[in-house]
Structure 1
Amino acid sequence: MSGSTSRTMSAAAVTAAIDRNIAHTVWRANQMGSYQADVTATGYQSLDRELPNGGWPASTLIELLLQQAGIGEMRLLQPALCAIGRKRRIVMVQPPHLPQVAAWAGWGLPADRFVWIRAARTADALWSAEQVLRNGSCGALLFWQPQVRNEALRRLHLAAQGSTTVFWMLRPLSASEHASPAPLRLALRPAPAGVSVDIVKRRGPLAERPLYLALAPDAALPSTSYRSHHAPMDKHAPAAVASRSVPAALV
């Protein structure tokens, strides 16, 4: 074998290795991209088909843009949360309503699988979410934040990339009008017995039309408690204690 042929084969091998290593970061606009990290199935086949790698990716920022809280977003995430919660803890930062423990238990997830963080200031909430991602001990993070600066989003996305956590950030639908570093952004609107999902941004071609996902009724709530038609959260949460010297509370 001549020296030139050997060099040609070596160059081809190097090129092939580079292609394999960067395939998850480069995609054509008319093709579905991919993630290097693991994914968790959404539990809805029609939605899985529209997402790169067929599910919720770990190690990245996922934005759920809500028309309003309680339209079915928690039941949409229920299959993924149940799959993750069987092995690792789930953290909720700044949920809009008090989490309904009875509903989680009805899903088969005991209360000790959840950590609820309530912060008095936005800066504390952002810091808490970033530390959860950097710690790496939790399988999923849900972070509700109505207003956040773009540089804070970049910090959270960077922290997520260094973790194996599935990270959902829940923001108002109006945030879809602004740029975001999140590779995956879904707009959620209420629909009869379900939810309408518009894929605002993904590593792939533009979605032609919104998806309709039928959501099963949440039968886990006991009849003696407040029964929500959408999310497993109590509508009337006690007011947070105002204190200038107390840091973010871990409940």
Structure 2
Amino acid sequence: MSTATVLAEEIHPSLWRASQLARGRGRVVETGYPALSAELPGGGWPVGALVDLLVQQAGVGELRLLRPALSASENRPVAFVQPPHIPHGLGLSYIGLSIERVLCVQAAQTADALWSAEQIVRAGSCGALIFWTQYAKASSLRRLHLAAQSSETLFVMVRPLAAAQDSSPALLRLGLRPSADGLAVDFVKRRGPSREEPLSISLQPTPVLLSQHARLSHRSLAEVAAPTVATKVVA
């Protein structure tokens, strides 16, 4: 008597075999790098979920890696929360972003930045949100992840590589390290089998994307000051 093979996802869409990549349950955005897409559940960046990019230092190449996804965000605004330097107009144009589409949020305190990021993903008006932060509590990450689930926003947090040791509700966590021609990508967490070897991604050189010396017209870049909020709002 033969026994029919039952696929894990047929039991429940949240289940998958540890030896296989999970099937994407929601929408994904094409990465623009076939080798990377082949290693991601659903074949792209998950939308409506938290994505962790863990870097040795901000500006290592995270925006160039996201270039295809950001340029394909259907002309919706793209939000930068706490970018390490002023966004550079020429560099942004190179990755397909007109400066008029970029919403830049600089907050006085981490709690204000977390509050701002949550409001952006809840509003759902931005095609993508990139949030640079040195530290975020686990409770804050869970709150942001839950907020993202009700949106159609590509939500990426850029955090220090050392945070790979900490738990995170993010569906996807990638470590980014500079290499000779681009980035070495480590798969810290994904819904599928572990991968020990880093993936090499070639990135084209670009004009400076984030610069301490960039000069932009105040009218060409939307700068939003986050309101002061109590820490309990993001706890």
Measured against aligned partners, the alpha-carbon deviations of 1:175-200 in whole angstroms (never above 9, x if no partner) come to 00111111110000010021100000
> By how many angstroms is 1:72 displaced?
1.2
Which residue type is aligned with residue 153 of structure 2? T
Max Rg structure: 1
1:128 is aligned, of 104, 116, 129, to: 116
> By how many angstroms is 1:112 displaced?
1.4
Q: Which residue of 1 aligns with 2:167?
A: 179
> By how many angstroms is 1:20 displaced?
5.2
Determine the C-alpha separation between the residues in 2 that align with 1:37 and 1:208.
26
TM-score (norm 2): 0.85
Determine the C-alpha separation between the residues in 2 that align with 1:128 and 1:193.
35
> By how many angstroms is 1:28 displaced?
1.8
Rate the CA distance shift 1:50–1:34 in 2: closer, same or farther, 3 A. Answer: same
Q: Which residue of 2 aligns with 1:40?
A: 29
Q: Which residue of 1 aligns with 2:210?
A: 233
2:87 is aligned, of 94, 99, 105, to: 99
> By how many angstroms is 1:209 displaced?
0.7
- Is the partner of 1:200 in helix, strand or coil? strand
Q: Which residue of 2 aligns with 1:70?
A: 59
Measured against aligned partners, the alpha-carbon deviations of 1:191-222 in whole angstroms (never above 9, x if no partner) come to 0021100000000000131001111111xx3x
Give me the identity figure in percent: 50
> By how many angstroms is 1:165 displaced?
0.5
- Is the partner of 2:66 in helix, strand or coil? helix
Spell out the pairing of 1:1-251 with structure 2 (5 A cutoff). 22-23=12-13, 25-84=14-73, 86-218=74-206, 221=207, 228=208, 232-236=209-213, 248=226
> By how many angstroms is 1:35 displaced?
2.7
Determine the C-alpha separation between the residues in 2 that align with 1:171 and 1:237.
23
Determine the C-alpha separation between the residues in 1 that align with 2:166 and 2:188.
11
Structure 1 contact 67–188 (Cα < 8 Å) conserved = yes
> By how many angstroms is 1:87 displaced?
2.7
Determine the C-alpha separation between the residues in 2 that align with 1:117 and 1:126.
11
TM-score (norm 1): 0.80
Structure 2 contact 105–225 (Cα < 8 Å) conserved = no
> By how many angstroms is 1:43 displaced?
0.8
**Unpaired stretches in structure 2, ≥5 consecutive residues:** 1-5, 216-223, 228-235
Give 1 or 2: higher helix fraction.
1
**Unpaired stretches in structure 1, ≥5 consecutive residues:** 1-14, 222-227, 239-245
Structure 1 contact 134–160 (Cα < 8 Å) conserved = yes
Measured against aligned partners, the alpha-carbon deviations of 1:66-90 in whole angstroms (never above 9, x if no partner) come to 0111211111111111011x43111
Q: Which residue of 2 aligns with 1:7?
A: none
Determine the C-alpha separation between the residues in 2 that align with 1:235 and 1:192.
24
**What is the number of equivalent residue pairs in this alignment?**
214
Kindly report structure 1 stretches of 4+ aligned residues shifted beyond 4 Å: none
Which residue type is aligned with residue 179 of structure 2? A
> By how many angstroms is 1:236 displaced?
4.0
Q: CA RMSD in A?
A: 2.2
Structure 1 contact 124–247 (Cα < 8 Å) conserved = no
Q: Which moved more, 1:143-152 or 1:101-110?
A: 101-110
Determine the C-alpha separation between the residues in 2 that align with 1:134 and 1:168.
14
